[in-house]
Amino acid sequence: MAGNTWNLPSCHISVECGDVAAFHQSKQIKKTLAKSWLSLYSYLSGHIVRSAKGATMEMISQTDKERLEAQLSDCLKFRPVIAGRIAEARAQGDLKENADYHAAREDQAMNEAKVRDLEAKLSRVQVAGEIDVPLDMVFLGAIVVLRDVKTNREEKFRLVGQLTEDSSDDYIEVTGSSPIGMALMKARIGETVRVDLPKGERRFLIVKIEG
């Protein structure tokens, strides 16, 4: 008899349809399942999740997604412009010594490479705002005010994804995979986080979240 299969982080459980009652009665499997859902929550609360097809998804802000879409739109609009340049260069005759033709073909190759790159990036991103996150929890895109426990000095950090290119003088950007980013991800207002840095350990109190 075919079985129903659950593929969860760090757990693979296969249950025969006729054994559903036994499955629900098994304490060991219940514990394993609970751990798996906890692991799944960690995935969703981090900066990387997995799609239904199993592909790795990069969490980004809506602004970052719109920036990538705008870049792709510009590249697609540039296609007919380059095609026109190539056609004009071809009309000149001999292509071997035609600098305009070769320059246009190089621009075309670079533009198509960028289109493929942007399409690939957009195919594996998910907007952080699409996941329901408590207002007092640090998540991707949040601007967090931290107070150094030792010096009492306050600093602003913004948690960003790997694809973020924007910068600001108003805060320090950290990715979710950095030491500070990993300490902040899923932490809440009022909590103290510990960060291991090259110059030693630092502890920060999460004062507030601005965005």
DSSP letters along 8-60, please? ETTEEEEEEGGGHHHHHH-HHHHHHHHHHHHHHHHHHHSSEEE-TTS-EEEEE
Among 104, 126, 148, give the residue marking a domain's end: 126
Residues in the chain: 211
In a domain, 54, yes or no: no
Residue type, 184: L
Q: Which domain holds residue 15?
A: 3-45
CB atoms within 10 A of CB 184: 25
Is the pTM of the predicted complex or chain greater than 0.85?
Answer: no
Confidence of residue 113 (pLDDT cuts 50, 70, 90): very high
Asked if the structure places residue 106 within a domain, the reply is yes
Residues 120, 80 within the same domain: yes
pLDDT band at 156 (very low <50, low <70, confident <90, very high): very high
**Containing H/E element for 143?**
strand 143-148
Residue 166 forms part of a structural domain: yes
Enumerate residues 6+ apart whose C-beta is below 8 A from 85: 100, 104, 107
Q: Is residue 170 part of a domain?
A: yes
- Indicate the pairing of strand 11-16 with strand 125-127: unpaired
The per-residue pLDDT for 2 is: 41
Domain count, the chain: 3
Same domain, 139 and 194: yes
Is 52 domain-assigned? no
Q: What is the pLDDT of residue 105?
A: 92
Q: How far apart are CA 57 and CA 82, in angstroms?
A: 33
- The mean pLDDT value of the chain amounts to 74
Q: Which CATH number characterizes residue 95's domain?
A: 1.10.287.180
**Using CA atoms in the order 159, 56, 121, 67, what is the torsion angle rounded to 10 degrees?**
-30
Lowest mean pLDDT, pick from 33-42, 66-75, 80-89, 121-130: 33-42
Same domain assignment for residues 106 and 89: yes
Task: Say if 50 falls within a structural domain.
Answer: no
137 and 200 fall within a common domain = yes
pLDDT of residue 163: 64
Task: Report which listed range, 1-5, 36-40, 160-164, is most confident.
Answer: 160-164
Does residue 51 belong to any structural domain of this protein? no
